[in-house]
Amino acid sequence: MSTEAGIDVQRQLESLIQDFRTSDSPMPVIVLHAEDPADDNRVTALLEELREGQQRHGTRLAVAPTEPQPGDAGPTARATRLLWDLGDSKKWGDRSATYRPYNFPRLNLVRALQEAADDPEMREHWPTAPDGTPDGATQRELAQTQLLRILARQRWRPRRPARRNRQMLITDVQQFLPMGILGAFTALLTRPEWYVAALAGIGLMILLAVLNHVPGRAPLFLWLRRESRWFLTTTFLQSAARRQSTSVRLLRPVSSWRAIAARAYDVSEAMREGGPFPLQLYVLALFEDLRDSHRRRSWDLRGFKRTRPPVLFLRRISQENGGVELIKAVSDVRSRRSELDPLLIVAGVAADDAALLDRGTDGEPQANRPEPPSRPGRLQQRLRHWYDEWAGNLRADQSPSRTNALPWVLRVPLPRAELVELRQSDWACVRARHRPPLVRVVWSTYSLLLVLALAVGAGVVHARDLHHTYCSAGMLSANRDTVRRPASGGGTECVGIATGDVRFGTYLQGGSGGQGERLRELEDLVRAENADVLRRHPGKYVTVVYAGPLSSSAADSSLVKGAEELTGVYLAQRVVNENYTVKLRVLLANGGVDMDQQRVTADEIAEYAEHDPTVVGVVGFGRDLQSSPDVTRRLHAVGLPIVSGTNSATYLPKQFSNWFSLAAPDEDQAKALGLVVRQLRARTKNPYALVLARNTKQSQDRYTDEQARYGGQMLHREGFRLLGGQRYDVANGNPELRLHAESICRGRNVPSVIYFAGRVEDIGPLMTQLSTVPGCASREISILTGDDLSKARFSGTGGRDGVAPRITLYHAALAELKEASSTTAFYEEAVQYLPWLKGKQATYDSPDFASGQTALAHDATRALYWAASLDDVPQSRAATWVNLRGVKLDGMATGTIDFTHAPLYGERHGHSIVLKRVTRTPQGLSEAEVLCSRTAGSTEPLSVRECSTDPGRGRH
DSSP codes of every residue in 356-376: GGGB-TT-PBPTT-PPPPP-S
> Which residue, 91, 62, 92, 65, is CA-closest to 78?
65
Distance between terminal CA atoms of the chain?
A: 119
DSSP states along 125-173: TS--SPTTSHHHHHHHHHHHHHHHHHHHHTTTS----HHHHHHHHHHHH
Separation of alpha carbons 330 and 408, rounded Å: 8
Q: How far is CA 130 from CA 88, 127, 272, 280, in A?
A: 39, 8, 16, 27
Q: What DSSP designation does 219 have?
A: P
Separation of alpha carbons 506 and 518, rounded Å: 12
Separation of alpha carbons 523 and 518, rounded Å: 9
Give me the residues paired with residue 722 across strands: 689
Radius of gyration of the chain (CA): 47
Q: Which amino acid is at 374?
A: S
pLDDT of amino acid 259: 83
* Helix, strand, or coil (residue 483): strand
**Model pLDDT for residues 549-575, shown as the tens digit of each residue:** 998 876 555 678 888 999 999 999 999
Q: Is 493 left (phi over 0), alpha (psi -120 to 50) or beta?
A: beta
CB 419 within 8 A of CB 34: yes
Collect the ranges in the chain with pLDDT lower than 50: 162-166, 241, 359-376, 511, 956
For 546-572, what is the HEC assignment? EEECCCCCCCCCHHHHHHHHHHHHHHH
CB 478 within 8 A of CB 188: no
* Helix, strand, or coil (residue 71): coil
Phi, psi of 488 (to 5 degrees): -65, 135
For 850-875, what is the HEC assignment? CCCHHHHHHHHHHHHHHHHCHHHCCC
CB 493 within 8 A of CB 590: yes
Q: How far is CA 490 from the centre of its chain?
A: 31
pLDDT of amino acid 18: 84
Separation of alpha carbons 689 and 666, rounded Å: 19
Separation of alpha carbons 736 and 572, rounded Å: 41
In this structure, the number of other CB atoms found within 10 A of the CB of residue 757 comes to 28
CB 285 within 8 A of CB 109: yes
pLDDT of amino acid 270: 87
Separation of alpha carbons 77 and 350, rounded Å: 21
CB 815 within 8 A of CB 856: yes
pLDDT of amino acid 561: 84
CB 653 within 8 A of CB 906: yes
CB 57 within 8 A of CB 308: yes
Q: Please give the model's pTM, rounded to 2 decimal places.
A: 0.67
pLDDT of amino acid 806: 86
